[in-house]
Homo-oligomer: A and B are copies of this chain.
């Protein structure tokens, strides 16, 4: 495809996306086609000869788009948001066009240096402790996801807990990881991948009201493992759990980790973005204890997936754990020690130029624009929660410090599950569920830049209408 043909087709695709965004609200958020619908509409074999872009775009509209759940829809309230924005797309598009590899500083210096500066910018914007900045002992890197951040933190923690033996000898003792019973499933997965087995995760009891990890239970779990001869390696604390956005008590957890010499990783995948607003930074009190920290600009900070921002307090420790140096990657810059080679900060070798989308987002919105986005989400969640509170048939299932509201009908689990299914079947909104206190609970998570009061109000109207009908039976 020559540059002129790319130019024509590229404009058409940009227009396609602009039209898609402009018409999202008229589309059903999701459909309920049976499994296999999309696959059955596709040819069983690739074409022998090339086809024009128009033919692919026609099939995109005909086959693919009807089979999507539209995560950027203003009525999408499921899971956590995975929002994107125009500036993010532009930055990512340039990254695709440049097609450079950032595995080493030497493989494309600007790719590494822009990333280091963007991570420092983000650290300033969210007021992280100074040790996480590149001017100190630490630094930041973009991971694909918080899952990978937890894995990388676990590996560095194992290296430390083993006294440096892990790198060569592997898992030769029973190392243990601790997290709240509300910690994300990716923590168990990371620990399993790292070779500790799912048994290596010690789920620590949480408070029944706040859903926050109980520090006394953490201490007891650590003491029990030490008594059994096991090695506590890492605690993963959460700011904003996935079920309910509960906040673990970092100052107390941090003091325990410091006392026992255990790596503290703080996972703020969704809620960390809130710290761009000074009034929401209370949630990260105690972060100065952390050895590593992450949040996902790809969740609630207008940057398209994948963009997890991960920081370590001691970059040397991380690099020592992960580096492997074959001849074909040797170069003078790396050997000078004057540069960062981000391949040693992550699982894969190759890496895209993801800092570009962050650069476009941070510059186009500016700090105030990002704060406005977060504040809008928090305010809309509060508005929705007020509506829940005002209807005695409903109850809130947890606090809503950010933009997630957990609620339920004062009814049994089946009724709540049916409530969820009914509102989702309208195609106007999409919510998901969790269990809180072992009871089926609906989650309404706000984050799309297109979501406005009318969308949240429509969700409430649909919910109350479905409740009227369900409770009348």
A443 at the interface (CB under 8 A from B): yes
- Residues of chain B within 8 A of A46, CB atoms compared: 121-122, 124-125, 362-363, 366-367
**B145 and A171 contacting across the interface, CB-CB below 8 Å:** no
Residue among A6, A158, A322 with most chain B CB within 10 A: A6
> Which stretch, A103-111, A219-227, A253-261, A383-391, touches the partner chain B?
A103-111
- Residues of chain B within 8 A of A14, CB atoms compared: 6-7, 10-11, 13-14, 93
Task: Give Cα distance in the complex from A337 to B70, angstroms.
Answer: 23
Q: Which A residues from 5 to 57 make CB contacts under 8 A with B?
A: 5-7, 9-11, 13-22, 33, 35-39, 42, 44-53, 55-56
**A305 and B352 contacting across the interface, CB-CB below 8 Å:** yes
- Residues of chain B within 8 A of A33, CB atoms compared: 109
Q: Which A residues from 302 to 352 make CB contacts under 8 A with B?
A: 304-306, 322, 324-329, 333, 336, 338-339, 347-350, 352
Q: Which A residues from 128 to 157 make CB contacts under 8 A with B?
A: 144-145, 147-148, 151, 155
- Please tell me which one of the listed residues B98, B106, B124, B189 contacts residue A324 in the complex, with CB atoms under 8 A apart: B189
- Residues of chain B within 8 A of A37, CB atoms compared: 109, 113
- Known interface pairs A3-B19, A79-B107; A64-B114 also in contact (CB < 8 Å): yes
**B15 and A7 contacting across the interface, CB-CB below 8 Å:** yes
The oligomer's copy count stands at 2
**A194 and B195 contacting across the interface, CB-CB below 8 Å:** yes
**B42 and A21 contacting across the interface, CB-CB below 8 Å:** no
A100 at the interface (CB under 8 A from B): yes
**A93 and B94 contacting across the interface, CB-CB below 8 Å:** no
Interface of A (DSSP majority class): helix
A418 at the interface (CB under 8 A from B): no
A192 at the interface (CB under 8 A from B): yes
- Residues of chain B within 8 A of A328, CB atoms compared: 79, 242-243, 432-434, 443
**B50 and A369 contacting across the interface, CB-CB below 8 Å:** yes
**A199 and B169 contacting across the interface, CB-CB below 8 Å:** yes
**B35 and A339 contacting across the interface, CB-CB below 8 Å:** yes
